[in-house]
Amino acid sequence: MKQTVITLVLASLPLVLVGCRGSRQQNSLWDDVKIGDLDTTRQDNAARAGQIKTNNFDVHIYEIPADNFARIADIWQDLDAQHMRFYNYRAFAENHFRAGLGRRLRWSGIEDLIRAAGGMKMATIALLLGKTGGQDLRITGFDNPLELTFVDRGGAIDRKLIGPGVFGLRFAAASAPGRDACEIVGYPVFSVPVPAAEGPMAEYAKSREIEFKGAGFGAKMSKDDFIVLGPAQYVGELQTLGGLVFTNLQGTVFLEKGRRPARNISVRLFVIVCKATAY
């Protein structure tokens, strides 16, 4: 399924993120940030006209043959997990998520490791994140209900019936201390697409929306910094949060040197690159 961007209504987003060392909570820059209703057309046109400033990111989506999952373990050795921030690191990890921050010149080495594992880039999605809006990056859609098991923000195991609708990652950004810096946050979300940001249909869609903040992550970033988001372990099903985000059971046709093209179950990696900041 092609990866596309769906920009939806974002409600208020009070965040208290914690680092992965210990459990002490910190006041976050996000505590005072309110993400309001977003009209995609108005924001895109205003951005082009220079009327609003945006934090610009590219999200590179890679898929790697599931059989080669162990070969990407070295990626994490070159990344900084200590400066990542989380709503609840324990919940993030128990959902089988993993994330690390890369600084500028390490990017080419990450790509080399992905290619060495037989991985392919499937898409690059642009994010324009302003003060009053965010974007949802679509991972998959489904027509039938699905019972999804996950660890919630409080660390408890929960189950929700989701669908029909769209499942993806939601991103927003705000200013951060320091020159040319911003803070980005992301987390999985289930939503129901609607043609307008206001009205009865939008209200109905909002009531069906589920945000999985237990798997939320964030980091302070400057130009050319990047975050790698991937699975902590291979999960070969779609009934858990980690499986739904990172596993493609439909498979991808991989072209590996010396082998015939073959469709294999694959694992997704997301690389979020900061291209420009608004502050």
125 within 8 A of 5, measured Cβ to Cβ = yes
CB neighbourhood size of 52 (10 A): 18
The conformational region for residue 60 under phi > 0 = left, psi -120 to 50 = alpha, else beta, is: beta
When pLDDT is cut at 50, 70 and 90, the band that residue 58 belongs to is very high
- pLDDT at residue 57 in the model: 96
- pLDDT at residue 34 in the model: 33
When pLDDT is cut at 50, 70 and 90, the band that residue 85 belongs to is very high
Could you read off the pLDDT of 140-190 as tens digits, one per residue?
Answer: 998 999 999 999 999 999 999 999 999 999 999 988 877 788 999 999 999
Amino acid at 179: R
Q: Report the distance separating Cα 268 and Cα 94, nearest Å.
A: 18
Helix/strand/coil for 103: coil
- pLDDT at residue 38 in the model: 29
Q: Could you tell me the residue ranges of all domains in the chain?
A: 5-276
Prior bond of 164 cis (ω within 30°): yes
CB neighbourhood size of 37 (10 A): 14
**Structure tokens of 257?**
């040197």
Q: What percent of the chain has pLDDT over 70?
A: 79
- pLDDT at residue 238 in the model: 94
Q: Is the pLDDT score of 46 beyond 70?
A: no
Torsion of CA 107, 109, 111, 114, to 10 degrees: -140
- pLDDT at residue 41 in the model: 35
Could you read off the pLDDT of 182-213 as tens digits, one per residue?
Answer: 999 999 999 998 776 677 777 887 888 999 99
- pLDDT at residue 25 in the model: 40
CB neighbourhood size of 77 (10 A): 8
Q: Is the pLDDT score of 16 beyond 50?
A: no
When the pLDDT of each residue in the chain is averaged and rounded to a whole number, the result is 81
- In angstroms, the first-to-last Cα distance of the chain is 36
Could you read off the pLDDT of 18-44 as tens digits, one per residue?
Answer: 454 443 344 443 333 333 332 333 344
Q: Which residues, in sequence order, are bridge partners of residue 227?
A: 101, 272
Q: Report the distance separating Cα 211 and Cα 278, nearest Å.
A: 26
Average pLDDT, integer, range 124-137 = 88
Angle at 91 between CA 87 and CA 95, to 5 degrees: 125
Asked which of 42-56, 112-126, 239-253, 258-272 is least confident by mean pLDDT, the reply is 42-56
**Tokens 């029909």 correspond to what residue?**
164
Q: Which residues, in sequence order, are bridge partners of residue 268?
A: 63
Angle at 221 between CA 220 and CA 225, to 5 degrees: 140
Q: Is the pLDDT score of 15 beyond 50?
A: no
Q: Report the distance separating Cα 10 and Cα 23, nearest Å.
A: 28
**Bigger pLDDT: 225 vs 36:** 225
- pLDDT at residue 279 in the model: 66
